[in-house]
Amino acid sequence: MKVDSGKKGLVINLLSLIGLVVLWHLLVILARENIFNIPFIRLRDVPTPVETWYALIGSLFTKTYGPALTVGILEHTQASLLRVIEGGIIAFIIGVPLGIGIGYSKPIGNVLNPIIEIVRNMPPMAWIPLAVFILVAGGSIFIVFIGTVFPIILNTIHGVKSTDLRLIDAAKTLGASGSQMITKVIIPSAFPSIIAGLRIGLGVGWMAIVAAEMVIRSPIGLGYFIWNMGELGRYPEMVAGMIVIGVIGYIMNISILLLQKRFVKWVD
Amino acid sequence: MKNSLKILLVVILAILAAGCIGGNKTPQSVSEPINLVKMSGQDMVQRLGTGEIAGFIMWEPYPAIAMTNGYGKPLLYSGQIWKGHPCCVVAYDYNWYKNTTNADEILKRMALVQLKSVEYINNAKETRSPDHEDLIKYTMEFGGMTDPKAANLSLSDVEFVYAPNIADAQTFITRIQDFGIFDSEKWNQSGYKNASDYANALINKSYSDWASQNKNANLTSVALKTPVTIRYAYLVNDIHELPFYVGWKKGWFKDAGINITLSDGTPFQNGAFEMQKGFKSGVVDIGSLGIPPVIIHRINSNDFTIDDTRVEVVAGMNNEGSVIVVGKNITSMKDLSGKTVGYPGPGTIQHVLFLMEADKEGLKVRY
Amino acid sequence: MGRLILKDISKKFNDFLALENVNFEVEDGEFVCLLGPSGCGKTTILRLAAGLDSPTDGEIFLDGKKIAGTNKECGFVFQEYALFPWRTAKGNIEFGPQVKGCSKEECERISRHYIDLVGLRGFEDHFPHELSGGMKQRVGIARAYANKPKLLLMDEPFGALDAQTRNIMQAELLRIWEKEHISVLFVTHSVDEAVYLADRVVVMSARPGTVKEIFGINLPRPRIRTSPEANALRDAILRSLGSEIKRAASI
Ligand SMILES: Nc1ncnc2c1ncn2[C@@H]1O[C@H](COP(=O)(O)OP(=O)(O)OP(=O)(O)O)[C@@H](O)[C@H]1O
Ligand SMILES: [Mg+2]
């Protein structure tokens, strides 16, 4: 029964995706045949799913045309992923201790909370000009860091604050010192929350990296790729890049969920 | 559960690995590729000054500004890459043409004003010329310069012309094809047999021919009987397009019965933008831009049944006039390998010229 | 060892007087049950004894030492188990020895001993959410014992268990207590449980909480729950408690 309904769900999932592709195809074809067009959208410029598929296959690998290296989507993806991972690691290293400090100690919280409350409301995109004009290097990684660090901090604070007081009492009576309380009770208890923060943060970081790469130009990265292809009028490649961005974001999210399920066994 | 996790990990690793393999598949020349990075002309000058980029290739006046500021020195003038290469041209939008009854007459007058402006500039370039001071004033205004020295320098390597050149356009088409900037699938769909066929379809010499036959005619005597309004587009601070500015400021278009209004989006960041946000969106009737964007966007077009990216070239603007400017410690193209070089964007003439030079030197360029 | 003295204890939460003038003792090795209407301050007394909270007035001594700050010589068994959910049964039991800096082998040895003692062999590597209520409380007890406390403070440890399991756990607790011989202060709502377990029963009155009456239970163990002596004691305690519960409800 359960297996059956699971399969049914999967079939519906697939059908919905197929439906989207068919609708997409129809809209483009109808626009190209001058039968129907949505106002303000040049739908005829949108590549069909088939054109997009061929563009994706054709641009997966880096190709050489004489002196020109046309960097493939895989290499762009790798570069963007690497930036997100680097920015994410820095955000994790800085965000988790900060979150623990703020969540655990009132004075630290009083000092840092107002700063965090203001700064976290500046979206990562708002930092792009600063990264472009003031930072000399690592602008994209910095933008990922900004996007990732606040969800990590906030979720860590939440995790620390929602630590069961009875567990703290239990640890106290069992003789835990202040630092042992942090390492042996607070951190493990906040761990699922910290991982959730990492997951949300990396999601934001992934969106931020694509935006950053459009502005902070290094000749490699998915955001750069889709913008470049758009500028050259190569819309099938552009849309293929967009789809890759979506799929990678989805895979990242699912991977962390699965990792969490695997390593945080105590939460059912 | 465990399996799906494994599959995910494998997928991620595969992407990372495939990226590496893909990268390695490119024949690793001895040297690292040069990285072309898009930026505005002002950015190029500033970043060359701070040493963030090793050099840039750009239209005048930015090279002249960088040089007079002492930020960089010329590595190569574009005339050294390709002697007398065509650069900016005047082109009209095909949809405008179809919907305008006396379009041919308008285009003839446009070409004539272009001719007169080019002749004026070529005479006034001489320091002894009585018009020289005016020309420098126009150059500084249009190029956004404050230093007359830079203005003089920026004019020195630009050759202003009014006639378009079909043979050279054909060369450009071939090179752009070689460099993989065209969508290779699209060439067959576009209906052009080869580069020569496409170049002939793209350039119409009849207007500039008419202009040279009437070069001594007074503009008012050949003026359109009923004045028309043209939405014109040009590139930001591009000294190559100075003939337009001179003709406009001197009132010569008006004399010929053509009222100029600037189109939405003018001045454009580069030719690729002018093609897409100008001609394709139907906000530009006539505009000046580099010839490669004109060539590229028709072929990369998604739907050849419509004419949204179809433009035709009616006059030249200039030849040469771009410079590869480099900072300290760079004395050759080879020195640039592994470094970052600014350029105005993919599919611009500077992009194509840079690739041509890299090709000669056997260097690789990532863009 | 393990003599607890509460002397003139009062506890105020803000303006609310929870305990007033509480005086009683737990003798060395004695099993004392604390009975009283809900809200009379039983948990508060345990927390004060553990040093998790400090009294507003009065003093508490364990083996003559005044309690100030967390009392690391007592083990606390909580009503809702309060096990570390990220640690296995074994991991929970080893928590105390670990924070004390015992070697890995030492921790292993201690946890093996107490796992056997509470009868959890085979469940060492289960996480709390994989254990039944009775098993969880066994882990809780083992965890408290593993810290070698002088005094065990137990807050309604079997409250959430079904009657069957509860009876078994009571017998088990006595078995362990006799073996390890430490003092126990045990809070319960069940007169039956108190009569079965305790050497003495302290009945409290409510609002503010204070000691109302103390009953000594000098029956030999193992006790028979339905013996006439047990029945008589149960009746006496119930009467004392019942009037208190009525009074508490009427306030
Ligand atoms: N931290 C606190 N702040 C304010 N009031 C408290 C606090 N802890 C306990 N109280 C109050 O003190 C009184 C005694 O509480 P306590 O938990 O000790 O009762 P109890 O006898 O254990 O009750 P129960 O049998 O229901 O567990 C209650 O009225 C409670 O509301
Ligand atoms: Mg209680």
Q: Could you read off the pLDDT of C94-110 as tens digits, one per residue?
A: 999 999 999 999 999 99
From the CA of A147, how many Å to the nearest CA of chain B? 22
From the CA of B299, how many Å to the nearest CA of chain A? 9
Residues in chain B: 367
CA distance A65 to B352: 12
Q: What is the ipTM of this complex?
A: 0.88
CA distance B339 to B333: 10
Q: Which CATH superfamily is domain A58-263 in?
A: MetI-like (1.10.3720.10)
Query: Side by side, which strands form the sheet with B286-290?
Result: B258-262, B228-233, B286-290, B88-93, B311-316
Q: Could you read off the pLDDT of C181-200 as tens digits, one per residue?
A: 889 999 999 999 999 999 99
Is the CB of A67 less than 8 angstroms away from the CB of B305?
Answer: no
Name the residue among B180, B276, B303 with its Cβ closest to that of A32: B303
Give the β-pairing of B55-59 and B340-343.
parallel
- Closest C-alpha residue for ligand 1 atom 14: C41
How many Å is the maximal CA-CA distance in chain B? 86
Sign of the Cα torsion A19, A21, A24, A27 reads negative
Is the CB of A231 less than 8 angstroms away from the CB of B272?
Answer: yes
- Interval between CA C146 and ligand 2 midpoint (Å): 24
- Interval between CA A190 and ligand 1 midpoint (Å): 27
pLDDT for residue B2: 52
Residue C34's Cβ-count burial label (10 Å; 0-12, 13-18, 19+) is: buried
Which residues lie closer than 8 Å to C87 by C-beta, 6 or more apart? A188, C95, C127, C128
Q: Could you read off the pLDDT of A246-255 as tens digits, one per residue?
A: 999 999 999 9
B305 part of contact set with chain A, CB < 8 Å: yes
Q: Could you read off the pLDDT of A135-179 as tens digits, one per residue?
A: 877 889 999 999 999 999 999 999 999 999 999 999 999 999 999
User: Per-residue confidence of chain B (367 residues) as pLDDT tens digits?
Assistant: 456 556 656 666 666 555 554 444 444 445 799 999 999 999 999 999 999 899 999 999 999 999 999 999 999 999 999 999 999 999 999 999 999 999 999 999 999 999 999 999 999 999 999 999 999 999 999 999 999 999 999 999 999 999 999 999 999 999 999 999 988 788 888 889 899 999 999 999 999 999 999 999 999 999 999 999 999 999 999 999 999 999 999 999 999 999 999 999 999 999 989 998 999 999 999 999 999 999 999 999 888 888 889 999 999 999 999 999 999 889 999 999 999 999 999 999 999 999 999 999 999 999 8
Q: Which fold has domain C4-73+150-250?
A: Rossmann fold (3.40.50)
**For residue C41, is it left (φ>0), alpha (ψ between -120 and 50) or beta?**
left
Dump the DSSP string for B250-290: TTHHHHTTEEEEEPTTPSBSSHHHIIIIIITTT--SEEEEE
Its pTM stands at 0.84
Which residues lie closer than 8 Å to B45 by C-beta, 6 or more apart? B62, B65, B66, B69, B71
- Spell out the domain ranges in chain C: 4-73+150-250, 83-148
Provide mean pLDDT across the span A219-228: 92
Which residues lie closer than 8 Å to A79 by C-beta, 6 or more apart? A218, A220, A221, A222, B19
- The answer to whether C12 and C181 have CB atoms below 8 angstroms apart is no
DSSP category for residue A185: I
pLDDT for residue B12: 60
From the CA of A113, how many Å to the nearest CA of chain C? 28
CA distance B363 to B356: 10
Is the CB of B5 less than 8 angstroms away from the CB of A47?
Answer: no
Helix segments in chain A, DSSP class H: 2-32, 49-58, 73-104, 106-119, 128-133, 139-161, 165-173, 178-181, 187-215, 222-231, 235-263
Is the CB of B25 less than 8 angstroms away from the CB of A61?
Answer: yes
Provide mean pLDDT across the span A107-132: 92
Q: Could you read off the pLDDT of C213-250 as tens digits, one per residue?
A: 999 999 998 899 889 999 999 999 999 988 877 777 77
- The answer to whether B263 and B278 have CB atoms below 8 angstroms apart is yes
| 3-state SS class at C26 | strand
Provide mean pLDDT across the span C164-192: 90
Report the nearest atom of ligand 1 relative to the CA of C209.
14
Q: Could you read off the pLDDT of B140-166 as tens digits, one per residue?
A: 999 999 999 999 999 999 999 999 999
- The answer to whether B231 and B261 have CB atoms below 8 angstroms apart is yes
